[in-house]
Structure formats: structure tokens, C-alpha cells
Structure 1
């Protein structure tokens, strides 16, 4: 790129969570109800999701970002 710079960032990300009833979100009564149903034995479990991502930031000769990413969207609503 003429007169500009490129900065590359490489990420390795890991998200861990325990999947269980969340009483703060109102899951407690539902979980208690489901546990009473015959033949259903829900169990808590752990989940890990790992991914890699590379981001290039391209600047012009004035150090301004010339490659602005599109905002993330959920339906028609922008997510910041």
C-alpha cells in the first residue's frame, strides 16, 4: 500500500462456560419443574469454544484507518 502501514493482529480465543440453571435469570423454577418429569434427567455440563482470528488494520499515509469494518448487526439493529 503506497505511503501507508498495515498492522496485523492474530488472536487465539477461548470461551469457557458452565451450562446449568441460572437462578438470576429465572431458570430455577423451570429447572425444578423439569427435574420432576418422568424419564428426564438433566445434567449440568461444561462447554469450551476455541477459535482464531486475524485482523488487519490498514492506515493511509496520514495514519487514518482506510478499511473501516462494517458494524456488527442483529437483524436491522447495529451492535456496538
Structure 2
């Protein structure tokens, strides 16, 4: 990561994306699409736990840093673009 993102900001970003995904799942009518969205939610849940250090005994520090990097370089711009369209 170029600039270190604070844990609070990272968890806020991923938490917001989780809530958006939950809303998307509840509005979806197609069961196949709903299953895909639930898998995406599961990934976000796991990434949140990793970033927060709750799975520290199951993953290495490099995995946690990788998730933090993904939040900063993928999720944050995605969320910023979403809010720019509102």
C-alpha cells in the first residue's frame, strides 16, 4: 500500500459495502443471482474479519495486509464512484 489506510476507515468502507450487498440481496428476485450475491457477501464478511484481526490465528499478516490493500485500492474507489453518481 502506498499510504497506510487507518483500520477504522477500512472497516467503515467494507461495512458500507456489506450493507449495500445485503440490500441488493433483499431486493433480488432471481434465486440464482441471489446465491451469487450471498457468496459475494460471504467474501466481504471474511475480509472484514481478516482486516479486523479476528482471524489472526488462521491467516498470516501478509493476508491481512493484502485485504487492507484490496480495500484501499479496489473497494474505496468503487464506493467513491458510487457516491459520486448520487
TM-score normalised by the chain length of structure 1: 0.25
Which of the two has greater helix per residue? 2
**Greater Cα radius of gyration, structure 1 or 2:** 1
